[in-house]
Amino acid sequence: MNSVKCYIWVVIYELRIEKMVQGGEGMARLPDGRVCFVQGGLPGELCQVEILQNKKDFTRGRVIKITEKSVDRAEPRCPLYGKCGGCSLQHLESSAQAACSALVERENFRRIAHVELPEDFKIHTGPAWGYRNRARVVIARAKSGKVSYGFRMQKSNGIIPFANCPVLTPALNAFLKENAAKIFEESIKASKRPPRNFELDVNLFDNGAGKVSYFYKGMPAADFEKNAVSVVEIAGKKIRSDASVFFQSNLSLLPELVTAVQNAVDEGIACGEASDAWLIDLFSGVGFFAAILKDKFKKITTVERDEGCLKHADFNLSADNVSAPAEDWLAENVVDVPATLIVDPPRTGLPPTALEAIVKSSVNRLIYVSCDPVTLARDFSRFRDAGFALKKAEGFAFYPQTPHLEMLFVLSR
Ligand SMILES: C[S@@+](CC[C@H](N)C(=O)[O-])C[C@H]1O[C@@H](n2cnc3c(N)ncnc32)[C@H](O)[C@@H]1O
């Protein structure tokens, strides 16, 4: 173990992977004590690791050979594994991913927020493949006239073509196969000239009930209602949205998150920490959570920055639906009753001024839905310093085969 081989430009170590860290890399230590983050390494494995990045405090590498394999190692299902950049955890058996994620998050919260996740911290799981009902793809036409489609590469702006993406729902894969060329032609007619580089970015949404909707910039307004708008039924409520705006991307598991949020709301009202006088849903998208909870409250405010969501929110619930940054709304509105507050910010977490305003308000209970446990941990430590405590934590495996996790925190003071 820990032997080193040096070729002209390549440095290779044999390393034992100690654990998985946030982002899905394995973590090992070099003989000099520096940490090495290892792409493709699983906890317990002994691997030959090629060093790709050599920094003063840490290094980065990739597995080139496995000497002792983990029992949880799986053969990646997708031929684009390692190329597309999307599903970097396919080398870990699907059935082992939630347990691994739970360990990663326990450590993440310990390290960033100095808090222990509750002993009963659970990650809800759903289908491991074919779950993703929302995607952004690029349809491209070669000079020969051949049309293909793929994902946009994160760093180079190139395209990774695919025929069948195993995490997309079967309906999305089938829709692309049948309609990519048609959508491309339609967009050319709409814009009266070929899109730049003969490429078209398209958002797709499968509503789980037989309709795939799509949107591209420049879609004629007359086609929008028919092609882009969709209705999803969740928890007995019909929710209107369209393919150009945010909507949750794992409809199979979404009902479990909805139930957890409903329970958190009911418990808050029952114990008196929150009230049914006012529901404030910040970062509300098309008014998703508020639309499901609307019958429980006397007054509702939803706040969402994307103006495209507003018409749907107005359709989904009769409430004070505001199109504004949440931090601006909080700066201009005094919350002086113990309202029920739900926040569901993007990966960046809460803007600091929004967080400060919540702390200064009369809100005593906060339901925080997060798609990034790192920013959740950061925000939690600020709330904790301001007197909030963690009441409940749950995880939702919305993105199997990737290191991403959805989480729900309930805080109170
Ligand atoms: C994770 S999504 C949640 C949406 C909604 N809660 C749902 O479940 O469908 C985050 C939403 O926050 C919106 N957003 C991002 N920054 C914002 C801000 N500063 N103020 C208000 N909304 C914001 C995004 O447009 C997006 O719709």
What's the pLDDT at 9? Answer: 73
The per-residue pLDDT for 6 is: 58
Interatomic CA distance for residues 3 and 284, integer angstroms: 53
How many angstroms separate the alpha carbon of residue 189 from the centre of ligand 1? 33
Alpha carbon distance 350, 121 (integer Å) = 23
Report how far ligand 1's centroid is from the alpha carbon of 304 (Å). Answer: 6
Q: How far apart are CA 132 and CA 128, in angstroms?
A: 10
The CA distance from 322 to 303, in Å, is: 5
Domain range summary for the chain, segments of one domain joined by +:
4-73, 96-128+251-412, 134-242
Judge if the beta carbon of residue 246 lies within 6 A of ligand 1: yes
| Ligand 1 center from residue 326 Cα (angstroms) | 9
Which residue of 134, 304, 371, 399 sits with most ligand 1 atoms within 8 Å of its CB, as the best mutation to test the pocket?
A: 304
How many angstroms separate the alpha carbon of residue 15 from the centre of ligand 1? 42
Question: Would 96-128+251-412 and 134-242 be classified into the same CATH topology?
Answer: no
* Mean pLDDT, contiguous 10-residue spans, the chain (413 residues): 62 97 97 97 98 96 97 97 92 98 98 97 98 97 90 86 97 98 91 72 97 96 97 96 98 98 98 97 98 97 98 98 98 95 98 98 97 98 97 98 98 97
Separation of first and last alpha carbons in the chain: 50
What architecture is the 134-242 domain classified under in CATH?
Beta Barrel (2.40)
pLDDT, residue 175, reads 98
Q: Can you give the C-alpha Rg of the chain in angstroms? A: 23
Res 213: pLDDT: 98
Has this prediction a pTM greater than 0.85? yes
C-alpha–C-alpha distance, residues 338 and 263, integer Å: 18
Q: Is 285 in the pocket of ligand 1 (CB under 6 A)?
A: yes
CATH of domain 96-128+251-412: 3.40.50.150
In angstroms, what CA-CA distances link 406 with 21, 204, 318, 375?
16, 21, 28, 12
Which residue is closest in CA terms to ligand 1's atom 4?
285
Give the span between the Cα atoms of 63 and 24, in whole angstroms.
Answer: 13
- Residue 390 phi/psi, 5° resolution? -80, 120
If you classify domain 4-73 with CATH, what class do you get? mainly beta
CA distance 132 to 31: 42
Ligand 1 atom with minimal separation from the 354 CA: 19
